[in-house]
Amino acid sequence: MILWAISETSASAEERFLLSTATPPRFLVENRGEMLDYYEALLVDNPSLDYQELEALEMEMPILPRLMMTEPAFTPNYMHEGLVYVSGALRAAMSLPDDAVDYRPVDLTKCCESARAKAYMTLEVVHSAEPFDREQSDGVWVDAVGRDGRSSRRWELIGGGPNDPTPRIVFSGEFVPPAPLFRALGTGWLMATDDLAQRVMHAGISDVMFIKRDGERGRTEMVCKTLS
């Protein structure tokens, strides 16, 4: 099974940062503070939410994100700014079934014409799954309490911080993805099947990366899918 972590390109992320810190800013999620307050309240009220439960609550967020994008040349197809924002072209290329993804509207009234033409929406994946071979991957068991108050244990990859060593990751040979795009439990990654990555790349969308996370090469260097 070939799986890839979907991501914006480093060039896109860097440009977005520069625009957001410019004077005046030329990229903002204007009500990001309001959305962060919503997330913090979720965590305070539910301190031991697992990834799947938190994802379900995030999908119920009643706040409409307000994007401000005023640089005509900056209109990427994929952005991760708190939420994941995807263009209409990327949604068409992915062609995901309705039961695999939840797209939510975005307020684009303060965006330039080229950004409005991208028809951005937020993306929330519906399915979460654990693709890892626990015996061969670097992970630990973590105690948790669910929303129903019951105690449980969940397995998570070790590390994730900027100074942590990259964990050894091996995908299970018996794993079957629940959808072409899903969240890998124990991580913050959105994982794409090889077929999905191929569709996006064949559609000519070049500002989205599909990153290899497993194996020794995925541990020691940035390995991205190439068009085949």
Q: Is 201 part of any domain?
A: yes
69 C-beta neighbours (distance < 10 Å), count: 25
The answer to whether 214 touches 15, Cβ cutoff 8 Å, is no
Amino acid 152: pLDDT: 74
Q: Please give the residue range of the domain that contains residue 110.
A: 3-130+171-220
Taking the alpha carbons of 37, 42, 46, 51 in that order, is the dihedral positive or negative? negative
Q: How far apart are CA 62 and CA 102, in angstroms?
A: 14
Q: Is 126 part of any domain?
A: yes
Q: Is 9 part of any domain?
A: yes
Amino acid 48: pLDDT: 63
**pLDDT digit string, tens, across residues 23-70:** 999 999 999 889 888 877 877 776 666 555 666 666 677 889 999 999
Q: How far apart are CA 77 and CA 85, in angstroms?
A: 8
- The model carries a pTM of 0.86
Domain count, the chain: 1
The CA distances from residue 96 to 11, 66, 110, 159, 197, in Å, are 26, 25, 28, 31, 12
